[in-house]
Amino acid sequence: MPRRKSTETMTLDTTGAKIGEPVPKAIIDTNTASVGIPRQSDQGLREELSALRQQIDALQQQVFHGAQAAKGGARKAVRQTQAAVKLYPASSLLLVATVAGALAFAGRRASVPRHRHQSALREVRDFYDRIRALI
């Protein structure tokens, strides 16, 4: 069954956007039939910019202090390493040799080729021999 036509007419809202007016890519308020961002006072923008500048300054200070702390920690580690090498030269040399040997062993272990291709080659040969036996 077709729907009944509505006999009620809608009133035209003349306070909203006008026909032929360019529609900006912005906010569309369905309650007031307005398009765009409402005007804001310049005072509010100045306060927001001021607050953002303060936040940026605070972040710059935090980054600066973090970099200084990391730099100081690295210096401390270098000093401690130098002191340990001066106090225990034989142990330091043994530790460096152990680390170098472990890295060399791990590198050699990783570079050794796997024997997967040989098992695959063996399977292909077996398959070829089976086909040959059938013919």
Q: How many domains would you assign to the chain? A: 1
Distances (CA, A) of 23 to 11, 13, 33: 22, 17, 12
pLDDT in tens, 45-56: 788 888 999 999
Residue 31 in any domain: the answer is no
d(CA 71, CA 75): 6
Q: Are the beta carbons of 58 and 70 closer than 8 angstroms?
A: no
Residue 93 in any domain: the answer is yes
Residue 27 in any domain: the answer is no
Residue 81 in any domain: the answer is yes
Q: pTM of the predicted model, to two decimals?
A: 0.37
pLDDT in tens, 61-119: 999 999 999 999 999 999 998 998 899 989 998 998 999 989 888 887 766 565 555 77
Torsion sign over Cα 67, 73, 75, 81: negative
Domain that residue 76 falls in? 48-109
Residue 115 in any domain: the answer is no
Nearest to 27 by CA among 18, 19, 15, 39: 39
Residue 117 in any domain: the answer is no
In DSSP terms, 110 is beta-bridged to: none
Residue 58 in any domain: the answer is yes
Q: What is the DSSP letter of 20?
A: T
Token pair 């472990």 in the structure block, residue: 102
In DSSP terms, 34 is beta-bridged to: 29
d(CA 30, CA 26): 13
Residue 18 in any domain: the answer is no
